[in-house]
Amino acid sequence: MMKAGLLCLAGLVATAIAQPHRHHRHEAKRDVVVDVVTNTVVAYATAPGAVVYVDGNGNPVSTSYADEAAPTTASAAYSAPAVESTSSVYTSAPASTAWSSSYVAPAPSSTTEAPAPSSYVAPDTSSSAAASTSSASSGSANSGYTISYSPYNSDNSCKDQDQVTSDFAMITGYDMVRLYGTDCNQTVTVLNAASAKGMKLFAGVYDITQVASEIQTIIDAANGNWDSFHTVSVGNEGVNNGLYSVSDVVSAIGTARSALQAAGYTGSVVTVDTFVAMIANPELCEASDYAAANCHAFFDGGVAAEDAGKFVLGQAQRVSQACGGKDTMITESGWPSQGDTNGMAVPSSENQINAINSLRAAFSSNIVLFSAFNDLWKQNNAGTYGAEQYWGIMGNAPA
């Protein structure tokens, strides 16, 4: 599932957070720190007092910003969904048990404009519920939370329509779902299940070398009706992981946008990469309709679960600044319920609850929570802290 991907480009050094996909494995994080460099100059982002940790080969492992003030976020005014009416705060469901939510997602609008604000506004603590950010008040299509979903069984086989529909019967309180690719006929099966619940689709092209065929698959799935499509992403962390050059990705975005527009699509087209890759390579967000960045506080190692929202909000602000104030969405963020400790980051069911509540308090929209269910088809390695399969907010999938 998730690993820590590390990137050092254009003089920028920070902790890169890598994300999941069926064909995506994360870069192993090195665990031997032998040197500390201070006052590093960071391109496109201000980082006074930066402390950069490197391994025995001089490769950057992580960066902290000891002298930097923490971004302002709301206190715990947010009232999270209840689970079977047993708690007033968000609680994750045990594996294979039913999960229900009292949260009702706002009705998706028919527009497809880019969803995120150029600057973030913390929720108003005077309210008993999460307050709207500037983008929510502007009537954007994504006026609530988004959840990521992968349609694979534990043996890596594809889920069929009935299984996907069964999974979506459990997904409540979200107005959009994010996919990563087009394999397993997932654009069709998820579109059917999501649209039946009034949810928008954040569709995805995973392999940009196959962008033409994957885009055609999405076009075929839409069948001329784009009402339920909000965004189409082209690639997921390809630059961060060294799979593609920036120019490769920019070219693929252009190819995808041209084909989609010719088919009548008027929604957003973006590429998704880590917040570090976006900051180091603003061409990625310049070619996108809004900046789409993945960011997981867990992989930083210096952030506790209850501070996940504050950390991710700060990185979203950095991305927006690096992209010239462009609208920004955090396209992945979550916390594992099981696994090994990473510094201050401790996987547990309780900490997953704390992290999700923290993220919801910091963002009332413009964030994709990762992930709907545990991804038991994934494999762990040294960089995943034994947590690769256990990011599911609702435990194991019913299907």
Domain span at residue 23 reads: 7-65
Among 16, 32, 65, give the residue marking a domain's end: 65
Domain shared by 147 and 58, yes or no: no
Specify the CATH number for the domain of residue 256. 3.20.20.80
Domain shared by 200 and 344, yes or no: yes
Q: Is 283 a catalytic residue?
A: no
User: How high is the mean pLDDT of the chain?
Assistant: 74
Domain shared by 143 and 60, yes or no: no
Domain shared by 149 and 21, yes or no: no
Mean pLDDT of 359-378: 97
Per-residue pLDDT band for 116 (boundaries 50, 70, 90) equals very low
Catalytic residue among 113, 214, 237, 332: 332
Domain shared by 24 and 157, yes or no: no
Q: What angle do CA 62, 280, 212 make, to 5 degrees?
A: 115
Q: Is residue 394 part of a domain?
A: no
Domain shared by 23 and 145, yes or no: no
Q: Is residue 145 part of a domain?
A: yes
Q: Is residue 93 part of a domain?
A: no
Please give the share of the chain, as a percent, with pLDDT higher than 90. 63
pLDDT at residue 71, as a whole number = 36
Q: List all residues 6 or more positions away from 46 whose beta carbon is below 8 Å from its beta carbon.
A: none
Q: Is residue 106 part of a domain?
A: no
Domain shared by 59 and 138, yes or no: no
Per-residue pLDDT band for 60 (boundaries 50, 70, 90) equals very low
- Report the C-alpha gap between 325 and 333 in whole angstroms: 21
Per-residue pLDDT band for 381 (boundaries 50, 70, 90) equals confident
The β-bridge partners of 399 are: none
Q: Is residue 71 part of a domain?
A: no
The β-bridge partners of 224 are: none
Among 24, 45, 65, give the residue marking a domain's end: 65
Domain shared by 283 and 155, yes or no: yes
Q: Which of 139-153, 200-214, 372-386 has the highest mean pLDDT?
A: 200-214
Domain shared by 295 and 161, yes or no: yes
Contact 68, 318 (CB under 8 A): no
Per-residue pLDDT band for 93 (boundaries 50, 70, 90) equals very low
User: Number of folded domains in the chain?
Assistant: 2
pLDDT at residue 328, as a whole number = 98
Mean pLDDT of 292-317: 98
The model carries a pTM of: 0.71
Domain shared by 209 and 305, yes or no: yes
Q: Is residue 375 part of a domain?
A: no
Is residue 386 pLDDT above 80, yes or no? Answer: yes
- Report the C-alpha gap between 176 and 174 in whole angstroms: 6
Q: Is residue 38 part of a domain?
A: yes
The structure tokens 């954007």 sit at 140
80 or 333, greater pLDDT: 333
Q: Is residue 380 part of a domain?
A: no
Cis peptide bond N-terminal to 371, omega within 30: yes
- Report the C-alpha gap between 223 and 81 in whole angstroms: 35
